[in-house]
Structure 1
Amino acid sequence: MIIKTSEFIISAVKKFQYPIDNRVEIAFVGRSNVGKSSIINALTNKRHLAKIGKTPGKTRLINFFLINNDFHLVDLPGYGYAKVSKKEQASWGKIIETYLYDREELKRVVLLVDSRHKPTADDITMYEWIKHYGYDVIVVATKKDKISNNDLRKQEKLIRETLKIPDDKKLYLFSSANKRGRDELVDYLFEDLASE
């Protein structure tokens, strides 16, 4: 699939603020510093589409982007950022849960984990949560450029084992910095959901 156009549509917190045009949605979720905005910008080839904050936890809203005038890419708030209050963390969790609960347009959730580290308890909870709600979940390990080729296999094995990803399910390792494998990842994430 070729992404020809991408534009920011709306930031939402409450359900009534979500777009109601019945377009298919693909959501991205992950820890606050996992690089969600960076991967959205890399996949769409638009440098400033999603705002990248200097501090983790910048995305506190649900951001909707219209892709090819055909479907929405949805950037969910990051979780697990320790420097905000428990109350604020809980409110972000509620925003995510409200969106995931019974959202008919949502067809797939992309869970981003940091390829350099073992997935956290929050990552495991999120992975289980997405499956619990019945969505197709794809795991992408970000920041691939920051680990050596020797460690790639080891990290992939660690992520698979920690999240209990079945062997027949693909796990993508990707770097937003060099974008290697971008076209294949775009095809894998979107092709069967979006019309050409």
Structure 2
Amino acid sequence: MTSSASLPLPADAKPDPKIAMGWLHTAKFLTTAPELKHLPRIDVPEIAFVGRSNAGKSTCINTLTQQHRLAFASKTPGRTQSINLFSLGKQGVTDAVLADLPGYGYAAVPKEAKYRWQQVMGNYLQTRDNLQAIVLLCDPRLGLTELDEVLLDVIRPRVEEGLKFLVLLTKSDKLNKTDAAKAMQIVKLQAGGGDVKLFSSLKRQGVEEVAQHLWDWAHPKEKPVKVPKPAPESPADGESDPQASMPPAADLA
């Protein structure tokens, strides 16, 4: 894999969802890692998708990348127990990576497996150096659960340090406008900051908007640099200032 850190875009670059969607369509399976130590060290931005089992992570990734089977959705919730990475970038040059983390909270998973994955995910979210952003997916009919709030507590220190964070309310097509608005308000309060978006793979609600978020995170814009105005030149040593030596206007009359 050839990787390249994204160069900053010009500060005046305008958002273009078509570019973002085309970029996401380049996604390819990179690797799967049952443990953190098996993840490759990558020097490009990594964006992690997390959430409870059946929150719709795989469907969301497949919709954003416009690929039907890129992220595999197991028929048995909680079955997937690995971190799956997908590379992004044109002409064989990787400029970002998507990480699909195992779903959590499924009751049928043995306690030992739950505990092990809590440790793996916690370590990943706290220590992955190139982690640029986190997308937390949840069912708006349930809101953020206790396990989601535990995850928020884990990542809060990194969010305060600048880690990007987005909550996606998946399956929003199952709610009417009133219920969707209420769900947005509740989750915003629960999340205590960060962006919250409605998302529906079926109706394609929020797809281009989220794609633009991912593109912007992986391709940050240059910060405009203010150039200070030059200070007025002072007379050189030994030279007199002609303005200073002139008498006041009244004396010239």
Shared fold (TM-score, shorter chain, > 0.5): yes
Which SS does the other structure have where 2:218 is aligned?
coil
> Which residue of 2 is the match for residue 35 of structure 1?
56
The SS at the match of 1:48 is: coil
Pick from 184, 191, 195 the counterpart of residue 216 of structure 2. 191
Amino acid corresponding to residue 87 of structure 1 in structure 2 = E
Q: Which residue of 2 aligns with 1:79?
A: 104
Flag as ranges the 4+ runs of structure 1 deviating above 6 A.
none
Does residue 115 of structure 2 align to residue 90 of structure 1? Answer: yes
- Inter-partner Cα distance in structure 1 for 2:149 and 2:215: 24
Residue 148 (1) aligns with residue 176 (2): yes
Structure in which a larger fraction of residues adopt strand: 1
Counterpart in the other structure of 1:65: 86
1:176 aligns with 2:201: yes
Is contact 2:126-2:154 (8 Å) kept? no
- How many matched pairs? 193
Is 2:66 aligned against 1:48? Answer: no
Q: How far apart, CA to CA, are the structure 1 residues paired with 2:63 and 2:39?
A: 24
Task: Determine what percentage of the aligned residue pairs are the same residue.
Answer: 36
Q: Which ranges in structure 1 are unaligned for 5 or more consecutive residues?
A: none
Q: CA deviation at 1:50?
A: 0.3
Q: How does 1:120-159 map to 2 (within 5 A)?
A: 120-134=145-159, 135-159=163-187
1:130 Cα deviation after fit: 1.3
Q: What is the TM-score normalised by the length of structure 1?
A: 0.91
Q: What letter corresponds to residue 63 of structure 1 in structure 2?
A: N
- The one-character-per-residue Cα deviations of 1:118-138 (angstroms, maximum 9, x if unpaired) are 211001111121112343221
CA contact (8 A) 1:63 1:74 kept: yes
The gaps in structure 2 that reach 5 residues or longer are 1-19, 221-253
Partner Cα separation in structure 1 for residue 44 and residue 202 of structure 2: 30
**Are 1:18 and 2:46 counterparts?**
no
1:55 deviates by 2.0
Once the 2 structures are TM-superposed, how far is the Cα of residue 53 of structure 1 from its aligned partner? 1.3
Match for 2:130 among 95, 105, 120?
A: 105
| Alpha carbons 1:52, 1:58 under 8 Å: kept | no
